[in-house]
Structure 1
């Protein structure tokens, strides 16, 4: 199996497509899916449409009662305790799932935090990197036997166009020697999510495990932007003068239903059979950002694409090895 080219398939879908539209006609009966963050925002919509297509849904949650309340809209969804900043809880969750004997066909790593003030976990790790990347890295690797048992599993890592803010600073992952900047930390964690999919796919594809990274779009009516002032969102054009969300899918300003579409497509579409290790957006594989269109991409001029540094196989392999050490 060779590495999938980072170029669009012309899927027939686009920026306005919804999760319901991309999963139409797909039967997930007998499939098991874990969706982190599956009780709010994009994660909840992902869990809802996967369940409606017949999948068994397991949602790990730090706030179990809140999750159970939200998931009343997803009949039959299971809720189990998990805190992505607590390695012991990740191991406990994974051990319980493995003990159930079920294969894991779909793992959607949707939970995340964004642009938070500087905080560190009990290990001293910066929390955006620890939550968005390391917690999901540990969860995925602990669940490896169940992914293998599925004989055709897919893992979806929610990345972001936030990769624009920063690559990986391998010399100072946790901002111990440089000034902390919330968006730089967010960008590093989202680049890590993209690189994780690259190396996970390389390591897993011989055992039937394929991985995809996803840019869902800018969806502000979720808890992800709670640390951002309204003025920041208005300056970015995401809120109008009355504080209402701006909807412009071609500029990545999407509804929750549109934001969940690419992740659901990556998790379920037969168009991606035999493919993996790529970064996707607008329900297709993204093109690489080139020197010719880099300025337009950074300016946000409706230019799709992924920075080469976010899909670099050497950086992905290096990050994997470091993550193994950091998560023991």
Structure 2
């Protein structure tokens, strides 16, 4: 059975950091792959997993930049991969599988946000192709290594951006509807959450459990580079003087706080035997009811996930559609 969407509680909270979450956990002998592991919360996730003893592999499109960013993470491995290039995903996976190592932790942290309309070589809208489809292909190709771990966890970094849009199965790539950057972002983040639901259903009998996470709003990363300054002020993320506002109770977090939920989902013994849920603030999120939705959308203080982002039927449909998209 899929784990119910309600808090445990975990003992941690919105202000917890990745280092606090992993304290006392020994990952010696474990292997982790962290996409986006050379920037923002991905870098912090990779650093903390490595500090706990895990072997950490970071796939990167820009090898030089990744190696420079990881210079203070001794032993971290960097390999080439571009989420918009299916051949490079296959090559990365093949090289990893050839190493014979099991894969205990896969954190899909790489992503883009609210970009202008662009398409990949297949004609796919790039936010959906990068944030969801590239990671979907990576998981499919690395499946034997996840099974070999005999207890793997896959963490998909989603977002409260799910509120901007459900998955439009009739027009995934904005070929017929007007393109709006945040609508496309919302679709891709909803896809991340749905992916975890179906991945967990398909993988649990082979020891693979999956989670999606909302890390919080962290403006000092490259993710929001396409957003104007006014957007940060409107969100309350910067004050009138342009200074960054930190308030975990409103999801306005530091990078260490933003990485905490990913690390918690990847390593916490509290989640043993669980999966298929959307998490935030280092805990399982409650389901937002129809009566609560307006209030939930109006502010970031109340945790929760919209039902369409964890709907099992939509998750199964997305998996099937994604498989077809990989064959085109």
TM (norm. structure 2) is: 0.99
Query: Partner residue of 2:216?
Result: 217
Matches within 5 A, 1:199-210: 199-210=198-209
| Matching residue of 2:272 | 273
Secondary structure of residue in 2 paired with 1:73: coil
Q: What is the CA–CA distance in structure 1 between the aligned matches of 2:38 and 2:52, rounded to whole Å?
A: 18
Distance in 1 between the 2:33 and 2:136 partners?
A: 14
Q: Which residue of 2 aligns with 1:78?
A: 77
Q: Secondary structure at the match of 2:45?
A: helix
1:234 has 2:251 as partner: no
Instruction: Tell me the distance in 2 between the aligned counterparts of 1:283 and 1:308.
Output: 20
Q: How does 1:266-305 map to 2 (within 5 A)?
A: 266-305=265-304
Q: What is the alpha-carbon distance in structure 2 between the residues aligned to residue 220 and residue 152 of structure 1?
A: 34
The alpha carbon displacement at 1:292 in A equals 2.2
Task: Report what 1:10 is aligned to.
Answer: 9
Label 1:88 to 1:222 Cα distance change in 2 as closer, same or farther (>3 A).
Answer: same
State the secondary structure of the residue aligned to 1:108.
strand
For residues 95-153 of structure 1, what are the alpha-carbon distances to aligned partners after superposition, in whole Å with 9 as ceiling and x for unaligned? Answer: 00000000000000000000000000000000000000000000011000000000000
Pairs aligned (count)? 327
Comparing 298-307 with 46-55, which one deviates more in the overlay?
298-307
- Residue number in structure 2 paired with 1:87: 86
Q: Which deviations, in whole Å up to 9, do the C-alpha atoms of 1:33-62 show, x marking residues without a partner?
A: 000000010000000000000000000000
Gaps of 5+ in 1: none
Shift of residue 242, structure 1, vs aligned partner: 2.2
Q: Which runs of 4+ in 1 moved over 3 A?
A: none
Shift of 1:296: 1.2
Which residue in the other structure is 1:106 paired with? 105
Pair 1:171-2:180 in alignment: no
Alignment of 1:34-183 (within 5 A): 34-183=33-182
- 1:79 Cα deviation after fit: 0.2
Map Cα deviations across residues 154-212 of structure 1 (whole Å, 9 max, x no partner).
00000000000000000000000000000000000000000000000000000000000
Match of 2:244 in 1: 245
In the alignment, which residue of structure 2 is the partner of 1:184? 183
For 1:249 and 1:236, the matched residues in 2 are separated by 14
**Partner residue in 2 for 1:31:** 30
1:275 to partner: Cα distance: 0.1
The DSSP-based 3-state class of the residue aligned with 1:15 is coil
- Give distance in 2, aligned partners of 1:141 and 1:301: 34
| Displacement after TM superposition at 1:244 (Å) | 2.0
Residues 75-110 of structure 1 show CA distances to partners (whole Å, capped at 9, x for unaligned) of 000000000000000000000000000000000000
Question: Cα 1:203–1:245, aligned 2, differ >3 Å: closer, same or farther?
Answer: same
Cα distance, 1:243 vs structure 2: 1.8
Aligned-pair distance for 1:263?
0.4
Q: CA RMSD in A?
A: 0.6
In 2, Cα distance between equivalents of 1:273 and 1:235: 39
Rounded to whole Å, the distance in 2 between the matches of 1:244 and 1:142 is 43
- How far off is 1:301 after superposition? 4.9
Q: Secondary structure of the residue that 2:58 maps to in structure 1?
A: strand
SS in 1 for 2:279: strand
